[in-house]
Chains A and B, each alone.
Chain A
């Protein structure tokens, strides 16, 4: 079965989880949130959630603590850049494997 059955005449997709494929495979650096520094975790109430807001893949939850879906996190590091209290660090994938 070929792709004709999708009946798309030009490129078309619907927003949804994983539309761009498993973007987690692109990652070389993995973001890790330090719950001791994250204000939401520290105060146990909703705070800035800038990481949730800015993540271009929308893979961070607006929860306490904020959680990252590593299946689709592409490792861009934007969350690290926007966190006002430097609660996020990027770690080499291979170091994690060790």
Chain B
């Protein structure tokens, strides 16, 4: 049962919520480079450090590549580490994202989702983090500012158990620069939830070790005579850690509820999905818009539910199948596109349903790229269009439709 506690509500934007969460997680090293719309978050953190409110080393680096390099080194020597970025910054970090995951370091990164050029655009979509899908990071998407605060705190608990870095993603401007009420936990509660970081390796001059040097494909016998992993075995272990992390994510969400009274024992959110014939799937703040769209459709007598994806990596296949088992039509809205194919979440849903008894029609719409406003009304229209298309054919089209004026 959730404990009774007094609410401590502040009006915060997403970046402030993230900064407070990082501070309360007692991060020890922060290395970040400012980039719109993440900038206020890094400014806030450096202020905390300068004012002595946060006992941490703030490393002002010259690039995002270096930011992740610093985080990697700091994490390897046992520091709880935080960084934040957006868009081109995340793209610039790409190489080191692989490195952090490959070295199995529990770094937490806040990705304030923003479009990628060309052409230049500083507004929101999810192309940046989706483009980092295969770097071996856990990815969790937030719907509102309370989730940003809570997810960053949970991210450390998850990452430090499974030794996989976690990317906490939230929509630029829509969340990062929009104020809403956020219940801020008290430090003692967070301390109880987050024990200090126990690194899996310790650099110790008295017992010198090499980490992540050239590792050939095949296993090799170490100086102690033990057969050590080759490159393949280490990749296998990373995949295994992500597979197993789903359980830890749910468990950490449950434990969070016990202390803070907000339930995260889920890999996605559902809204009126129990009796729904049509399910709208969306990720991040778009899921909130989808709930408004579902209200409007229900008023018209159409039984619509919403599945708001929270955890994108590891992708919760069996849970998605379970949630969609009654749906006759699945309408997936993606704020990203895998060019030449379709939206990333749509591909995941299709692949999860393959080989199951669910034979629902799936329609994919690309929306909101580069900050294009998405109105609930437009989601309603698209859903109705998807319903109408069932009369013509139930076969799933190869490519998505776009909500734009081309």
Is B one of A's binding partners? yes
Our pick among A9, A13, A16, A17 for the contact of B163 (Cβ within 8 Å) is A9
With contacts A12-B210, A19-B210 taken as known, whether A6 is within 8 angstroms of B226 at the C-beta atoms is yes
With contacts A14-B210, A14-B222 taken as known, whether A6 is within 8 angstroms of B234 at the C-beta atoms is no
Point out the residues of chain B lying under 8 angstroms from A1, CB to CB. 227
- The contact size tier of chain B is 20 to 34
With most chain B CB atoms within 10 A of its CB, the pick from A9, A11, A13 is A11
Point out the residues of chain A lying under 8 angstroms from B233, CB to CB. 2-3
Interface residues of A in 9-45 (CB under 8 A from B): 9-21
Whether the Cβ atoms of A19 and B227 lie closer than 8 Å is no
A5 CB–B CB distance under 8 Å: yes
Point out the residues of chain A lying under 8 angstroms from B244, CB to CB. none
Whether the Cβ atoms of B211 and A12 lie closer than 8 Å is yes
Point out the residues of chain A lying under 8 angstroms from B224, CB to CB. 14
5 nearest A-B pairs in the assembled complex, by CB-CB distance: A16-B223, A3-B229, A6-B228, A11-B215, A10-B104
A95 CB–B CB distance under 8 Å: no
Between A and B, 24 residue pairs with Cβ closer than 8 Å are A1-B227, A3-B230, A6-B226, A6-B228, A6-B229, A8-B228, A9-B201, A10-B103, A10-B200, A10-B234, A11-B211, A11-B212, A11-B215, A11-B234, A12-B201, A12-B211, A13-B210, A13-B213, A13-B222, A13-B223, A14-B210, A14-B224, A16-B222, A19-B210
Closest A residue, CB atoms, query B231: A11
B355 CB–A CB distance under 8 Å: no
Point out the residues of chain B lying under 8 angstroms from A9, CB to CB. 104, 163, 200-201, 237
Whether the Cβ atoms of A10 and B211 lie closer than 8 Å is yes
Count: A-B pairs, CB below 8 Å: 70
Point out the residues of chain B lying under 8 angstroms from A21, CB to CB. 216, 220
With most chain B CB atoms within 10 A of its CB, the pick from A8, A10, A12 is A10
Point out the residues of chain A lying under 8 angstroms from B192, CB to CB. none
Point out the residues of chain A lying under 8 angstroms from B201, CB to CB. 9-10, 12
Whether the Cβ atoms of B229 and A14 lie closer than 8 Å is no
User: In the assembly, what is the distance between CA of A8 and CA of B224, in Å?
Assistant: 13
Q: Min CB distance, A6 to chain B, in Å?
A: 5
Our pick among A13, A16, A18 for the contact of B228 (Cβ within 8 Å) is A13
Q: Min CB distance, A76 to chain B, in Å?
A: 15
User: In the assembly, what is the distance between CA of A15 and CA of B211, in Å?
Assistant: 11
Our pick among A3, A18, A20 for the contact of B227 (Cβ within 8 Å) is A3
Q: Render A59-75 as a binary contact track against B, CB cut-off 8 A, 1 for contact.
A: 00000000000000000
Point out the residues of chain A lying under 8 angstroms from B104, CB to CB. 9-10
Whether the Cβ atoms of A6 and B212 lie closer than 8 Å is no
